[in-house]
Every structure is written in structure tokens, then in C-alpha cells.
């Protein structure tokens, strides 16, 4: 097999230009041409992983099958490529330094002075080539987080420079994503920031091979010529990336601009097979031409930042397209749901999703939302903390367990219906101590959830939580009509609850949103959206009758 080729994606001028989407789009196009492709993200911050980061800091924390808590860009990679990622796909500076320091403590450097070059850069290069060395991939795309010129990105940029030199011509290229701003006062696009960004990259010894220019206005041929000349790249390697109505348009737009063709030529790989985007375009067509629309309330406490629930919002896009319906998500901050206003806030919702989260802030609002959904027959999906809130709500309002709660919120609750697993009770360090990654679950025969999973009896889903349903209360709950319809057979932990006498009421302890992709929308979201559609139709018919 030929050696793996590498594509490095760097960013300049400003952050948040969408390196992850560009990397995922290029990977999608290369995959659609028959190349086995994967993507990894190198993050320059010193946290060991994003697991302990507040969602407001960095958006949601994405979890892989092998239990790695990673950057949300890995979610884009999986959604676009429909290929699972792992611990090897996300590396932080914290992890790099931790590894080097551990090696130094073990005496692996034979008493040498440990320095950024070569020790840190060697560790980075090793991590970059981990996936390539497996022999499973033709092309590895590596996205370097942050902005060129940042002090914390320097070791990564230096590692890339060394690798470009070591791997030789046509084996590795650099795609530089930059901003071409529009000055409304002057009425023109400006190329100077891009020129400076490319120059900064060159000062580190790296010449960009391809420029991807983020812009709000079409780039004229004149501007592309100017960028090519001053940034020392070929004219066809100046790629325009104009604002798109949906991130799923980007692969198609990048193909029209020739990004994949230029990349393959620079890597000396055949580019004569056009990408097969049939399924992708069918999805886009359904997404853009829905036959109806519904409104779902997303009840959470990080709703001000869209990226906090990125995977959930994208899962609605996938499930909406397959059901040919537009899902309008109305974000409702659970902290501001009160006894006086909750009916007003729930008005006009066709379905209710109570989102995951940690800590006690805003949980009473979530409990009120669950009760509203349960008592009014509104389709309900509770994810992780959302499922636990459904358990607490049912305990308090149906079983009459006064003060029922999770020990996460109230250590002295008289009814700890949600509690810690025994082995979790003595943990002090919060990082990486949760039930993480893929866990198996057996589905109850004849249950709603088994129907949702197309008759499957055994599933595997990704987790990220610490607290569990307390089995001491299971019998009491089931007698009253709340069924534990999914159980982990090894631990006997409850994974799924449902209410059979409700139109559609399911709570899951895991995160289905991590598994939803364009090619395989998650069955739970597909089923939920279908139930929401039906509920709306019935309400409309009832009001007309």
C-alpha cells in the first residue's frame, strides 16, 4: 500500500472561520472519490481534554466510542464522513505535555534537557502520524486549532514544518483558511489581512499550498489573481468559501470551487474519478424542501450559545430531512421557567426535549417542562440529565415521593431516585471519571423504544455522566407505569425509561446525538420527530373539527 498522505489545515486572521467544516468538507469529497480518509484535531489549549471545559468556553464536549472526551469538531467529522473517530483524533497541548513529562519522569530521555524542540515537537509529530501509521487511511487531514501567530500554536506549526520536510514533496500539503473582509465604508473586499496571515505562516517556514478564503461577497477574478500573486500560490489554489445557508452545502460548494481537485493534484494522487455525492445531495434536497414544519422546545441551561447543543441541533437536521419536515428548535432557558410562566413558555410546542447538563442550576424548570409534556400528551425526549429529570418528576408527582431528587443536586434527599454508582462515591478528581464511551443496552421486547430501533434487541450507545437511576426504586416505578425498557445487562443499570400509556415519552441515560450522521440519522431522533409531526397533525385536525 502507498504511504499515507497528509493535509494540514491552518487558520489565520480570526478564529471561528470554520476550519472544522472546511476540513470535514474536503474529507467528504476525498471519501466520495474513493479515498479512505480521516480527520484529527490538534487543540493548543493546556486542558488535558475538553471534558472539564464549560460549554460556554468551547461549545459542547463530544464523546467517541472509546470514551474520549473531545472537541466538538469531531462531531462534524463523524456527521460528514459517517466514520467513527477515537482518542487518536483529538490531541490537546495538555495531553502532549503530560505525556512528555511522564516519559521524563520514567527516565526515557536518558538525563537529557527536555525542551520544546525536539521533545514536544517529536511527541506532536508522533501523534499526527498515529492514524496514518495504522495503514487504514490513504489521507489524514489534520486541523490545527487556533490562529497562526498565536503563541500556543507555535509548537504545532513547527511540527508541521518539520513533517512537510521529512515527508517530502507531494506527500503533505497545507490548506490555509483565512478571512477576506468587506469594508462597507469603502465598499470593497480587502486582501491585506490574508497577505499578512500567509506572511506570518511563512515566517514559521511554511508556505501555504491552498488558500481557502472566507468571505461574505463573491471574490472577483481580479482579487483571486492578486491573492495568488502576493501569497505565492497558484491561481486555481485560491478557493472562495462564501457564507452558506447550511454547513451541509459546503462540500458541494468546495467541489465547485475545485478544492478536492487541487488537493489531489498537489498530493500527486489520481483525480479522474468524480466524487459520488448522490446520497449527500438527496439529503440536501429533502433538508431544503420540507413538506411541513414543527416546533420543538429544547429545554437546557446553556441555550445562549448554539454550540453547547451542537450535536442535538444537527440530529434534528438529519431526522427532519428523512421525515421531510422542518424542525424549528425553540431554545428555552430552564433557569427562567417558573410556576407562573411555564404554560406560557410551553405554548405552541409540538414536542419537548430536555437536554443534558451538569449541576443543580435550572433543574426545577426542567422538571416543570417534563411534567407539562407528560400531563399534556406532548411527545417527549429526555437525554441524560433530561432522563433523570423525568425520573424525579414522576417520583414526586405520580409516586408521591416528596423531595425526590438526585444526590447530585441534594445530598440529603429523602428519596435519592438518582444516585451515584458505588464505585463513583469516593472520587475527588472530576476529569475523566464518568461513565464514558459506548456501553451496551438490552431493549425490552414489545417496548416503544424497541420499535424505534427497528426491532433490535441489543444496542450500543455513548455515555457521559456520573449519576444513575437508583434500582432500589425500580419496582415502585414500574408498578406505577414508568417502564425501564433498556438495561445494561452487565451492571443492571437502567439506560432507558418510557411511559407506555403516553403517545411518545422516552428518556435515555446516554447521548444519541453523538451517533447521528447525514448517512444514518439516529433512530431516536427520527422516531421523536415523526411523533412530533403526528401530534401536530392531530392537534390541527382537532381544532378544525
CA distance 387 to 315: 18
CA distance 28 to 260: 9
Residue 513 among the catalytic residues: yes
Is 393 marked within a binding site?
A: no
Is 21 marked within a binding site?
A: yes
In the block, residue with C-alpha cell 459517517: 82
Is 143 marked within a binding site?
A: yes
Instruction: Give yes or no for a cis peptide into 393 (omega within 30° of 0).
Output: no
Is 461 marked within a binding site?
A: no
Is 195 marked within a binding site?
A: yes
Is 190 marked within a binding site?
A: yes
Q: Rounded to whole angstroms, what are the CA distances from 24 to 157, 182, 271?
A: 20, 26, 19
Residue tagged active-site, from 468, 495, 498, 513? 513
Provide the angle, in degrees to the nearest 10, between the axes of the packed helices 121-130 and 154-167.
Answer: 60
Q: Measuring CA to CA, which residue among 396, 446, 20, 382 is closest to residue 212? A: 20
C-alpha grid cell for residue 216? 461574505
Residue tagged active-site, from 415, 511, 522, 535? 511
Q: For the purposes of burial, counting CB atoms within 10 Å of the CB of 45, is it exposed (0-12), middle (13-18) or buried (19 or more)? A: middle
CA distance 140 to 6: 5
CA distance 407 to 415: 9
Is 357 marked within a binding site?
A: yes
In the block, residue with C-alpha cell 474520549: 68
Provide the angle, in degrees to the nearest 10, between the axes of the packed helices 310-322 and 523-544.
Answer: 60
Is 151 marked within a binding site?
A: yes
Q: Measuring CA to CA, which residue among 362, 371, 368 is closest to residue 409? A: 362
Is 73 marked within a binding site?
A: yes
Around 495, how many Cα atoms within 13 Å sit in the side-chain half-sphere?
Answer: 27
CA distance 499 to 267: 56
Is 20 marked within a binding site?
A: yes
Beta carbons of 518 and 315 less than 8 angstroms apart = no
Is 226 marked within a binding site?
A: yes
Is 92 marked within a binding site?
A: no
CA distance 375 to 356: 22
Q: For the purposes of burial, counting CB atoms within 10 Å of the CB of 135, is it exposed (0-12), middle (13-18) or buried (19 or more)? A: exposed
Residue tagged active-site, from 384, 393, 463, 468? 384
Is 372 marked within a binding site?
A: no
Is 193 marked within a binding site?
A: yes
C-alpha grid cell for residue 320? 427532519
Is 387 marked within a binding site?
A: yes
Is 359 marked within a binding site?
A: no
Is 416 marked within a binding site?
A: no
Beta carbons of 466 and 424 less than 8 angstroms apart = yes
Is 16 marked within a binding site?
A: yes
Q: How is the beta sheet containing 458-465 ordered, strand by strand?
A: 325-333, 292-300, 351-354, 380-383, 505-508, 494-498, 483-487, 435-443, 458-465
Is 244 marked within a binding site?
A: yes
Is 14 marked within a binding site?
A: no
| Cα angle 108-110-114, degrees, rounded to a multiple of 5 | 80
Residues designated as active site: 384, 511, 513
Known binding-site positions for CTP: 15, 150-152, 190-195, 226
Known binding-site positions for UTP: 15, 190-195, 226
Known binding-site positions for L-glutamine: 56, 357, 385-388, 408, 466
Known binding-site positions: 15-21, 56, 73, 143, 150-152, 190-195, 226, 244, 357, 385-388, 408, 466
Known binding-site positions for Mg(2+): 73, 143
Known binding-site positions for ATP: 16-21, 73, 244
Amino acid at each position: 500500500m502507498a504511504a499515507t498522505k497528509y493535509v494540514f489545515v491552518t487558520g489565520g486572521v480570526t478564529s471561528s472561520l470554520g476550519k472544522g467544516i472546511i476540513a470535514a468538507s474536503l474529507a467528504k469529497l476525498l471519501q466520495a472519490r474513493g479515498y479512505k480518509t480521516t480527520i484529527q484535531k490538534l487543540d493548543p489549549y493546556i486542558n488535558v481534554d475538553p471534558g472539564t471545559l464549560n460549554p460556554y468556553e468551547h461549545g459542547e464536549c463530544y464523546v467517541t466510542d472509546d470514551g474520549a472526551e473531545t472537541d466538538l469538531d469531531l462531531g462534524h467529522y463523524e456527521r460528514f464522513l459517517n466514520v467513527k473517530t477515537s482518542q487518536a483524533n483529538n490531541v490537546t497541548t495538555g495531553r502532549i505535555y503530560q505525556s512528555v513529562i511522564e516519559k521524563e519522569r520514567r527516565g526515557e530521555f536518558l538525563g537529557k534537557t527536555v525542551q520544546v524542540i525536539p521533545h514536544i515537537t517529536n511527541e506532536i509529530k508522533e501523534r499526527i502520524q498515529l492514524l496514518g501509521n495504522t495503514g487504514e487511511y490513504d489521507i489524514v487531514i489534520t486541523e490545527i486549532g487556533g490562529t497562526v501567530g498565536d503563541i500556543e500554536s507555535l509548537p504545532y506549526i513547527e511540527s508541521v514544518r518539520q513533517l512537510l520536510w521529512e515527508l517530502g514533496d507531494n506527500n503533505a500539503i497545507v490548506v490555509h483558511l483565512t478571512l477576506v473582509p468587506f469594508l462597507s465604508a469603502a465598499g470593497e473586499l480587502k486582501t491585506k489581512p490574508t497577505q499578512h496571515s500567509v506572511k506570518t505562516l511563512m515566517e514559521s517556514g511554511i508556505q501555504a499550498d491552498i488558500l481557502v478564503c472566507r468571505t461574505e461577497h463573491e471574490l472577483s477574478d481580479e482579487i483571486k489573481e492578486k491573492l495568488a500573486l502576493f501569497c505565492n500560490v497558484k491561481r486555481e489554489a485560491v478557493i472562495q468559501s462564501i457564507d452558506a445557508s447550511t454547513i451541509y452545502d459546503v462540500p458541494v460548494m468546495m467541489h465547485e470551487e475545485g478544492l478536492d481537485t487541487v488537493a489531489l493534484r498537489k498530493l500527486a494522487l489520481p483525480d479522474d474519478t468524480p466524487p459520488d455525492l448522490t446520497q449527500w445531495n438527496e439529503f440536501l434536497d429533502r433538508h431544503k424542501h420540507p413538506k411541513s414544519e414543527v416546533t420543538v422546545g429544547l429545554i437546557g441551561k446553556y441555550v445562549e450559545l448554539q454550540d453547547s447543543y451542537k450535536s442535538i441541533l444537527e440530529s434534528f437536521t438529519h431526522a427532519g430531512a428523512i421525515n421531510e419536515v422542518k424542525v424549528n428548535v425553540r431554545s428555552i432557558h430552564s433557569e427562567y421557567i417558573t410556576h407562573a410562566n411555564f404554560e406560557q413558555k410551553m405554548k405552541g410546542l409540538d414536542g419537548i426535549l430536555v437536554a443534558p447538563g451538569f449541576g443543580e442550576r435550572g433543574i426545577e424548570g426542567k422538571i416543570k417542562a417534563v411534567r407539562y409534556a407528560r400531563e399534556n400528551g406532548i411527545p417527549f425526549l429526555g437525554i441524560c440529565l433530561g432522563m433523570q429529570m423525568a425520573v424525579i418528576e414522576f417520583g414526586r408527582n405520580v409516586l408521591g415521593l416528596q423531595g425526590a431528587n438526585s444526590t447530585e443536586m441534594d445530598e440529603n434527599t429523602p428519596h435519592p431516585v438518582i444516585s451515584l454508582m458505588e464505585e463513583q462515591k469516593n472520587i475527588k478528581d472530576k476529569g475523566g471519571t464518568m461513565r464514558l464511551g459506548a456501553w451496551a443496552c438490552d431493549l425490552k421486547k414489545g417496548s416503544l423504544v424497541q420499535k424505534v430501533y427497528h426491532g433490535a434487541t441489543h444496542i450500543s450507545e455513548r455515555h457521559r455522566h456520573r449519576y444513575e437511576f437508583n434500582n432500589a426504586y425500580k419496582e415502585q416505578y414500574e408498578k406505577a407505569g414508568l417502564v425501564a425498557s433498556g438495561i445494561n445487562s452487565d451492571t443492571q443499570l437502567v439506560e432507558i425509561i418510557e411511559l407506555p400509556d403516553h403517545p411518545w415519552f422516552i428518556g435515555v441515560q446516554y447521548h444519541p446525538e453523538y451517533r447521528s450522521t447525514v448517512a444514518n440519522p439516529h433512530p431516536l431522533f427520527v422516531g421523536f420527530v415523526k411523533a412530533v409531526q403526528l401530534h401536530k397533525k392531530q392537534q390541527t385536525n382537532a381544532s378544525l373539527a
